[in-house]
Amino acid sequence: MQADKNLWVLVFVCIINSLGFGIIVPVLYSYGKTFGITGETLGILTASFSVAQFFATPVLGSLSDKFGRKPLLIISIAGTCLSFLLFAWANSIFMLFAARILDGFTGGNVSVAQAMVSDTATPQNRAKKFGILGSAFGFGFVIGPAIGGLLNRFGPQVPFFFAAGISFIGTLCTIFFLRETNLPNPGKKNDSKSNFKLSALITTLKRPVIGTAVFTGFLLTMAQFTMLIGFQTFSVDVLKINPTQIGILYAGFGVSGIIMQLSVPLLTQWCSSKSMILLLSTILCMTAMFITGLTNAFITFTVGICVYGLFNGLRNPMINAIIADRIDHKEQGKILGINQSYASIGQTLGPLTAGFAALISVHGVFFLSSFYILIALLLSFRLKSRE
């Protein structure tokens, strides 16, 4: 019962945390322009977060294996709060970069939260709990941009102060309501499994099932963020729809993913094989993305995007569950952190490669995304064979 209560407290904390991030998405570029941010430097600013997170997340996860999840989650959310305040108080482009890098270095929110869920989950309900957690993050990302756009009307700093405020609430909720799931044992000798070395970023990929799952997640994340570039350019240049319509369409994409994540318990009752669910969802995602690349019609494009969003929602719950089922409790935070590190790099490489594809054709972006999914599909067959 206590574990379930902890899950819902964690869900609330995750909604608050992702809501804060979502709020700044629509205002970051316009706010940064006052300090000299251009379209090119915006990409570097975004990438600075992902690069910092790539190195920091597995370290934070490893530390949570040693010293407990709760202190590290508090540090992560508090770091996010401080980064938003730095954005609001910024007086130069250097402060913007400092704020983004700080958020990346303390960005262990996702992996530590996943480790907390995995600590109390069983192989039978692990995918279900990861699905609930994923829908919590997704909910904040969907409604956050709308709130950010509304708050921007009251002043350019207001969205950042509001995001800092709700992150502070998330920090307080973690301190007072969240129970530790990995109590440290001072009398126990240090275990090498909980130690983190940079070489673990490579050696983890060599582990038969875990490495395949991590790299599959990396490819599928890269495919999603490639698609998002195509989504924006196609909506403006081909469909010629206005920002409000783009926002509604993007919200539909996000909501479809949340619905699927909440449906994970039903899916796992129908099929107990997580790798099979991942394989089937990957096939449907690839088909939807390929069809999207072939069309110029609004209806076909919308259906393709929503079908992709629906089945892409199964990616994180299944991959996280496959990984968590096969790792020792002493390295939960470290390995899930490494998985999140590769996802953050996928979030950076996806848009970069999409930019090159867009130089050829806006449709080429969707074909590139479907190519990444095809490679992930081949790896999904490997996961299924080793289950």
Distances (CA, A) of 56 to 130, 177, 180, 325, 341: 22, 26, 21, 24, 8
pLDDT of residue 223: 95
Indicate the number of domains in the chain: 2
User: Of the residues 122, 146, 177, which one is the last residue of a structural domain?
Assistant: 177
Averaged pLDDT, 122-148: 83
The residue with greater pLDDT, 107 or 308, is 308
Do 79 and 213 belong together in one domain?
no
Cα–Cα distance for residue pair 5/3, rounded to 1 Å: 5
Task: Provide the 3-class DSSP secondary structure of residue 311.
Answer: helix
Do 239 and 291 belong together in one domain?
yes
Q: What pLDDT band is residue 195 in, cutting at 50, 70 and 90?
A: low
Is the four-CA dihedral 147, 151, 157, 161 of positive or negative sign?
A: negative
DSSP string, 163-204: HHHHHHHHHHHHHHHPPPSS---TTSPPPGGG---TTHHHHG
b (16+ CB within 10 A) / e for 229-258:
bbbbebbeeeeeeeeeeeeebbeebbbbbb
Q: What pLDDT band is residue 251 in, cutting at 50, 70 and 90?
A: confident
Cα–Cα distance for residue pair 189/279, rounded to 1 Å: 41
| Interval 296-335: pLDDT, tens | 999 999 999 989 999 999 998 999 999 988 888 778 888 8
| Interval 341-355: pLDDT, tens | 898 889 888 888 888
Cα–Cα distance for residue pair 352/385, rounded to 1 Å: 33
User: Other C-beta atoms within 10 Å of 217: how many?
Assistant: 25
Range(s) of the domain holding residue 95:
1-177
Do 230 and 170 belong together in one domain?
no
pTM here is 0.81
| Interval 3-31: pLDDT, tens | 577 888 888 888 887 887 778 777 777 78
CATH of the domain at 226: 1.20.1250.20
The token duo for 328 is 């020792």
User: Of the residues 127, 149, 177, which one is the last residue of a structural domain?
Assistant: 177
Distances (CA, A) of 344 to 9, 217, 224, 275, 349: 25, 11, 12, 22, 9
Do 173 and 201 belong together in one domain?
no
Task: Provide the 3-class DSSP secondary structure of residue 115.
Answer: helix
- Lowest-confidence range among 56-65, 94-103, 283-292, 363-372? 56-65
92 phi/psi in degrees, rounded to 5 = -160, 165
Do 308 and 372 belong together in one domain?
yes
SS3 per-residue string spanning 18-57: HHHHHHHCCCHHHHHHCCCCCHHHHHHHHHHHHHHHHHHH
pLDDT of residue 82: 94
338 lies in some domain: yes
Q: What pLDDT band is residue 190 in, cutting at 50, 70 and 90?
A: low
User: Of the residues 177, 207, 232, which one is the last residue of a structural domain?
Assistant: 177
296 phi/psi in degrees, rounded to 5 = -120, 0
pLDDT of residue 1: 45
Do 262 and 170 belong together in one domain?
no
Mean pLDDT of all residues belonging to the chain = 85
Residue type, 170: G
